[in-house]
Amino acid sequence: MLLLLSCTASSPEGAPSAETADPDATCNGSSALCDRPLSAVAFVGTHNSMSSAEREWLFPNQNDAVPAQLANGVRALNLDTHAWEDELWLCHGYCELGSQPLVEGFAEITAFLTDRPDEVVILTLQDGISGEETRAALTEAGLAERAYTHTTGQPWPTLGELIAQDQRVVIFSASGGGVDWHHSQWEHWIDVPYSAESIEDFACTDDRGDPATATLYNINHFLTSPLASLELATEANALPVIEGHVADCQEASGRFPNQVLVDFYDIGAAQAVVDSLNAP
What is the DSSP secondary-structure string of 127-169?
ESS-HHHHHHHHHHTT-GGGB----TTSPPPBHHHHHHTT--E
Burial class (CB in 10 A: 0-12, 13-18, 19+), 3: exposed
Calpha distance 218→206 (Å, rounded): 10
Q: Kindly state whether residue 4 falls inside one of the protein's structural domains.
A: no
Residue 174's pLDDT is 86
CB under 8 Å to 249, separation ≥6 — which residues?
Answer: 192, 204, 217, 219, 255, 257
- For residues 262-269, give the mean pLDDT: 98
**DSSP state letters, the chain:** -PPPPPHHHH-TT-PPPS--SSTT--BTTBGGGTTSBGGG--EEEETTTT-BTTTT-SS-SBSS-HHHHHHTT--EEEEEEEEETTEEEE-SS-GGG--EEHHHHHHHHHHHHHH-TT--EEEEEEESS-HHHHHHHHHHTT-GGGB----TTSPPPBHHHHHHTT--EEEEETT--SSTTEEEHHHHEEE-----SSGGG---S--BS-TTT--EEEEE----SSS--HHHHHHHTSHHHHHHHHHHHHHHH-----EEEESSTTSSSHHHHHHHHH--
Residue 3's pLDDT is 40
Band of pLDDT at residue 177, cut at 50, 70 and 90:
confident
Q: Kindly state whether residue 50 falls inside one of the protein's structural domains.
A: yes
Residue 17's pLDDT is 40
Q: Kindly state whether residue 19 falls inside one of the protein's structural domains.
A: no
Q: Over 80: is that where the pLDDT of 16 sits? A: no
The widest CA-to-CA distance across the chain, in whole angstroms, is 54
Calpha distance 216→278 (Å, rounded): 15
Residue 175's pLDDT is 82
- The whole domain housing 235 covers 28-278
Q: Kindly state whether residue 82 falls inside one of the protein's structural domains.
A: yes
Q: Over 80: is that where the pLDDT of 21 sits? A: no
The whole-chain average pLDDT of the chain stands at 92
Q: Kindly state whether residue 2 falls inside one of the protein's structural domains.
A: no
Q: What is the pLDDT of residues 130-166, one digit of tens each?
A: 999 999 999 999 999 999 999 999 999 999 999 999 9
Q: Kindly state whether residue 3 falls inside one of the protein's structural domains.
A: no
Calpha distance 77→184 (Å, rounded): 16
Q: Over 80: is that where the pLDDT of 264 sits? A: yes
Calpha distance 12→215 (Å, rounded): 8
- For residues 63-89, give the mean pLDDT: 97
Q: Over 90: is that where the pLDDT of 81 sits? A: yes
Q: Kindly state whether residue 21 falls inside one of the protein's structural domains.
A: no
Q: Kindly state whether residue 20 falls inside one of the protein's structural domains.
A: no
Percent of the chain with pLDDT over 70: 92
Q: Over 80: is that where the pLDDT of 2 sits? A: no
Q: What is the pLDDT of residues 208-252, one digit of tens each?
A: 999 999 999 999 999 999 999 999 999 999 999 999 999 999 999
Domain count, the chain: 1
Least confident of 17-31, 37-51, 134-148: 17-31
Q: Over 70: is that where the pLDDT of 196 sits? A: yes
Q: Which CATH number goes with the domain that contains 258?
A: 3.20.20.190
- For residues 82-103, give the mean pLDDT: 96
Calpha distance 55→52 (Å, rounded): 6
Q: What is the pLDDT of residues 181-190, one digit of tens each?
A: 999 999 999 9
Band of pLDDT at residue 176, cut at 50, 70 and 90:
confident
